[in-house]
Amino acid sequence: MILIYMFTCRKQDNTVLTYLNRLYERGKNLEYYTIEAKKMPYDCQEEDWEGLEYRTINLFGEEFVLFKSGVPNKLAKLVIDNNTKYTLRTGEILDLGGGYGLEIKQVDIKGDKVWVEFTKDGEFIEDTIIDLEKCLSTWTLKLDNVEEEENVTVLKIRLLSAFKGDIDAIVQIQGLWLIDYQNAFTIEKGDIFGKFEVDEIGSSYLKFKVNET
């Protein structure tokens, strides 16, 4: 396996270079290395999530998501994928990791409609009203201009229930999936990482060759 470290400016730290050098020494008689993408089911398999999958590729021990179908060189780090149950009150922010947050802004008097806001480093990104009465318990957020791609799924959340009391409201979430789309990156043919050069970008794999120059 070859590694590409998560980078925005295409820089590699000493840890990555050490890893690449060791890989090269162990397999320098080999000419090519290939990394295959794989299908992953969402950890949540409830209701409309059941049977759904996304694709990942393991680079340097970390999972990265292929956020465009059939394109294994457009990647973003997987921030969260779980089926854990969270209980939030209105005004409370759930830390999703990577600076991303989810806030329950308001619940209507019947407890049917929930106003949810998605943020990054405290800054507003998007919001929606989830209508539990219509059994629309999942919010799938798609954004444009992610590494020049449109309609990219960056967030999925599933509300389990909501309750509106006299003073406060409580919402339960069970089903979360998020990629770090703000730090997404594109690997291109000819890119060099240590002693390896991207030689081929297939429909489900990245192929590297040893570059001695």
pLDDT surpasses 50 at 8: no
Domain annotation covers residue 112: yes
Domain annotation covers residue 23: yes
- CA 144 from centre of chain: 15
Q: Structurally, how many domains does the chain consist of? A: 1
Domain annotation covers residue 8: no
Domain annotation covers residue 26: yes
- Cβ neighbours of 70 (radius 10 Å): 10
Domain annotation covers residue 3: no
> What are the tokens at 102?
């989810």
- The pTM is what? 0.83
Q: What is the pLDDT of residues 23-70, one digit of tens each?
A: 555 555 557 778 899 999 999 998 889 999 999 987 756 779 999 887
Helix (H/G/I), strand (E/B), else coil: 86: strand
Q: Which of 66, 82, 61, 81 is nearest to 152 (CA)?
A: 66
pLDDT at 71: 87
Q: Which residue has the tokens 């192929």?
A: 207
Q: In this predicted model, which residue has the larger pLDDT, 208 or 27?
A: 208
pLDDT surpasses 70 at 4: no
Residue-number span of the structural domain to which 206 is assigned: 14-210
pLDDT at 207: 87
Domain annotation covers residue 44: yes
Q: What is the pLDDT of residues 117-127, one digit of tens each?
A: 999 999 999 99
- CB-based contacts of 179: which residues, under 8 Å, 6+ apart? 65, 67, 76, 77, 78, 79, 154, 155
Domain annotation covers residue 6: no
Q: In this predicted model, which residue has the larger pLDDT, 23 or 140?
A: 140
pLDDT at 26: 55
Domain annotation covers residue 4: no
CATH of the domain at 64: 2.60.98.40
d(CA 140, CA 130): 11
